[in-house]
Copies of this chain bind each other. A is one copy, B any other.
Amino acid sequence: MANPSILILAGDGIGPEVMAEVKKIIGWYDAKRGITFDVSEDLVGGCAYDKHGTPLHDDTMAKAQDVDCVLLGAVGGPKYDSLDFSVKPERGLLRLRKEMDLYSNLRPAQCFDALADFSSLKKEVVAGLDIVIVRELTSGVYFGEPRGIFTEGNERVGINTQRYTESEIARVARSAFELARRRNNKVCSMEKANVMESGILWRQVVQEIHDKEYPDVELSHMYADAGAMQLCRWPKQFDVIVTDNLFGDLLSDAAAMLTGSLGMLPSASLGAPMANGRPKALYEPVHGSAPDIAGQGKANPIACILSFAMALRYSFDLGEEATRLEQAVEKVLADGVRTADLMGPEGGVPVSTSAMGDAIIAAL
């Protein structure tokens, strides 16, 4: 049987640096555990634009459809700010999400014990925090038509369309309920049903799927503005949050920041099962391309490494190996190994991106 396959799209900014550490870990699994992946690499984002004039070449898209999963670093940078909307680095990422139909984006917001002091929130508010935001990733205002900038009379008008079908809502709701069953069995769904009809439909469908298929899971509904408040006030009240593409973008970023562990947080974007039973999948850190520190060996590779751990769990059914890798990360943090972004006010000497990767491999 062929080895499981991974397409690495390291992207821009710190993407290649943090991905280099993941490659070391993939090498370790091959050498030490006899778990071998067929790894190929390609371009996405600004670097793809530089080479091909498009942030995602059709060949790369075809490869992504063909592998067991994609690992992505980060895209974007100031160099590309003035590009036309249609070829901006982000469009490469959005095309992958849409064409692979990765509708369920799992964004854990987890506070690492060793870093609880690091949050702008009080320690008691975040210590031990472990919630997951399930964000719908292939629809909503990100992709709805009509969209564009038009001229009406003598002025410009900017238009986007928020659009959700029943089946789009149902499938991401199912994925949230499934996840909750493996966790603390609680789902909170967020929308603006008091203002938006798409939110009313969202609430109805989530409720229907719950009542019919997951009556054992505790379900609540919250307006997204109240949700933003409650995430800031007492995030531990949540287990799994399910929400749409745009609300999920804001709420998951706020939640990630709250943990104080932004450079630490992975994400998984999952679609329907392929012929081999594995879900279509893309894994990427929550952080961006951080052009200000790119190329300096300062970046924290942990979010990208933990994204690979999610790949082990969700794509390759290697849950125990995933846990092993996560525990190695925790051990290294507990030992006080820190990249620059993790330096507290006490100071100390930060390690480089590559030394952090080495420490994690040593802990494995």
CB of A254 within 8 A of CB of B234, answer no
Interface positions of A from 158 to 188, Cβ below 8 Å from B:
158-167
B residues near A152, Cβ cutoff 8 Å: 165
Which residue in B147, B149, B232 is a CB contact (below 8 Å) of A254?
A: B232
Return the chain B residue nearest A254 by Cβ: B228
Q: What is the size, in residues, of chain A's interface with B at 8 Å between Cβ atoms?
A: 61
A residues lining the B interface (CB < 8 Å)? 76, 85, 88, 90, 94, 120-122, 125, 141-142, 144, 147-149, 152, 155-167, 192, 194-202, 205, 224-226, 228-234, 246-247, 249-251, 253-254, 256-258, 262
In angstroms, Cα B163 to Cα A90, docked, is 22
In angstroms, Cα B158 to Cα A156, docked, is 26
Secondary structure of the A contact surface, majority rule: helix
CB of B225 within 8 A of CB of A253, answer yes
In angstroms, Cα B157 to Cα A156, docked, is 28
Q: How far is the CB of A288 from chain B (nearest CB, A)?
A: 8
CB of B254 within 8 A of CB of A254, answer yes
Q: How far is the CB of A236 from chain B (nearest CB, A)?
A: 11
Supply 5 A–B pairs (Cβ within 8 Å), ascending by A.
A121-B121, A158-B165, A158-B200, A159-B163, A160-B197
Which residue in B147, B198, B224, B249 is a CB contact (below 8 Å) of A197?
A: B147
B residues near A250, Cβ cutoff 8 Å: 224-225, 228, 247, 250-251
B residues near A149, Cβ cutoff 8 Å: 197, 200-201
Return the chain B residue nearest A156 by Cβ: B166
B residues near A249, Cβ cutoff 8 Å: 192, 195, 224-225
CB of B148 within 8 A of CB of A162, answer no
In angstroms, Cα B191 to Cα A85, docked, is 14
CB of B200 within 8 A of CB of A228, answer no
Which residue in B120, B159, B224, B247 is a CB contact (below 8 Å) of A161?
A: B159
B residues near A233, Cβ cutoff 8 Å: 120, 257
In angstroms, Cα B199 to Cα A160, docked, is 9
Known: A229-B253, A229-B257, A253-B229. A158 touches B167 (CB 8 A): no
